Amino acid sequence: MNSSACRIFRLLAAVGILALFGQCQPVPKPFAAANKGDFSAIQIGPRAGMVVLPVTGTASPEVGGKLAAATARALRRREVTASTNHGHRGSHRMQGSAVLEPTGLLRLTWRLHTPGNVETMVLMQEDMVAPAAWRQGDAALLARLAGTAADAIDLRLRRQERGEGRRIALAPVTMGSMDGVPGQGGGELARAMRIALAEAGVSLLPEPSNDGFILLGSMHVAPGGGASTGGARRIEIVWQLIRPDGREFGQISQANKVPAAQLSGDWRFLAQAIAEAGAPGVLDLLRRDRGG
């Protein structure tokens, strides 16, 4: 992840939990369908079946394939059944993309998708590399990059697995509108929040359900950003959790100063930092709804 974005939002407080309404009735649980000879609905976890696809953005397809193979090997050493073959219908897919800056800074983005093509994990990896070694697919360099990626993936999977036994059934959430976000930031911020909530076990629905919530976001950017503030702009983000009938259940807010250039540039890293800081507050509201 972009280090400046991390510093900006690492300590953002999710505050202002307000307006808690009523108690919900238990969510109806329909009978599970029986599978007789058809196991297409069985879902296995990513640790038990992961396909690492060739990394895009490399100097050649060969280098992208070599980095994928090195990453799969590193994952297997960490008890993840990973390969670069086609897998099967229950396999999760890990896709990496690379961007090499002129300074030699390599940015790798790893995205994990379920068999149903739902993105459940995004990891950002940064490393200084020798451009020539990167372009040539130097084996030692690729092994080092793969090891770093595998460590991060394994750690994230372990965090998810530790939470499985304690997880309560949270109400499903539908992402609503994002208002007041400059540039292309609204889509990136909504996407980052969906990923953060999905990783925490929240069910995300394309349309609101009667027993669920809609999550709305709004941002206010304060004027200024001149030399006296170092070019920084103060922003405030408010997340509102509302019922499908429009009643507000609660809200959280985040605020901090952000370099003005980041507000008009690439929002990927900033959006991820904001979402990772704000998601715990949204989860707290959802747990209160379930009495957790």
> Mean pLDDT over residues 229-249, rounded?
86
Between 123 and 134, the more confident residue is 134
| pLDDT tens digits, one per residue of 79-116 | 888 899 877 777 899 999 999 999 999 999 999 998 88
SS3 41: coil
CA distances from residue 100 to 64, 79, 97, 124 in whole angstroms, order as listed: 13, 30, 10, 13
Beta strands at 248-259 and 173-179: parallel, antiparallel or unpaired:
unpaired
Per-residue confidence band for 202, with pLDDT thresholds at 50, 70 and 90: confident
Q: How far apart are CA 280 and CA 196, in angstroms?
A: 9
DSSP characters over 11-52: T---B--------PPPPP-PPPPP-SS--TT----GGG-EEE
Domains of the chain: 3-24+171-289 (3.30.160), 46-164 (3.30.160)
Question: How do 173-179 and 213-221 pair as beta strands?
Answer: parallel
Q: CA 241, CA 48: separation in Å to the nearest integer?
A: 35
Mean pLDDT, to the nearest integer, of 216-224?
88
Token duo for residue 46: 């990513």
Output the pTM of the full model. Answer: 0.47
Give dist(CA 82, CA 104) in Å, integer.
Answer: 29
Collect all residues with Cβ–Cβ distance below 8 Å to 80 and sequence separation of at least 6: 46, 47, 50, 150, 153, 154, 157
